[in-house]
């Protein structure tokens, strides 16, 4: 079982029992309100994999953020354990690894790349297939999808597909 955790936030309705069955956690992390990366925690291998579309620019910052993450992951994991469950050693060390992925050609598509990496990871698709992917087209599709799914408080869509095409 895999758990998707977006932007490292846990809601009040969090189901802690989900942790016991998890072998991987996927997420998207923002670095200093400047850059987005996707990540994957592999509990069995004790490894953090980072998928960064601008690896050379944010390497040091990214490493620091995920070292802080790795320090609290065992505690979060153990919260969901019940008596008799295998708990994670609080002093466990995760290895940190940047996974080679498509690099963005500009300084404004990092969020699109992080979402696409997350999509591939959760669908178990080959990340190498992204080299041929049209990120400008994915960006447009993502924007339209987000607008179409935007809802007002009364549960109705705030925009119709016709309004978007105008």
The pTM of the full predicted model, rounded to 2 decimals, is 0.73
Look at residue 61 and give its three-state secondary structure: helix
pLDDT for res 13: 45
Instruction: Report the percent of the chain where pLDDT is more than 90.
Output: 6
- How would DSSP label each residue in 2-49? EEE-STT---TT--TTHHHH-SEEEEEEEETTTEEEEEEEETTTTEEE
pLDDT, tens digit (0-9, with 9 covering 90-100), for 4-27: 444 333 444 444 445 666 778 888
pLDDT for res 22: 73
pLDDT for res 132: 56
pLDDT, tens digit (0-9, with 9 covering 90-100), for 112-150: 889 888 888 888 888 877 765 677 788 888 777 777 666
d(CA 4, CA 134): 25
């Amino acid at each position: 079982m895999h758990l998707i955790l977006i932007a490292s936030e846990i809601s009040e309705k969090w189901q802690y029992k989900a942790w016991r069955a998890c072998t991987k956690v996927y997420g998207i992390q923002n670095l200093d309100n400047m850059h987005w990366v996707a990540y994957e925690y592999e509990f069995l291998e004790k490894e953090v994999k980072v998928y960064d579309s601008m690896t050379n620019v944010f390497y040091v910052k990214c490493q620091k953020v995920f070292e802080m993450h790795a320090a609290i992951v065992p505690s979060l994991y153990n919260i969901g354990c019940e008596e008799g469950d295998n708990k994670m050693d609080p002093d466990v060390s995760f290895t940190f690894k940047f996974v080679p992925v498509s690099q963005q050609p500009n300084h404004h598509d990092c969020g699109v790349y992080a979402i696409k990496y997350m999509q591939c990871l959760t669908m178990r698709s080959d990340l190498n297939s992204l080299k041929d992917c049209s990120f400008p087209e994915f960006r447009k599709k993502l924007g339209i999808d987000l607008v179409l799914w935007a809802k007002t408080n009364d549960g109705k869509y705030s925009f119709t597909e016709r309004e978007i095409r105008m």
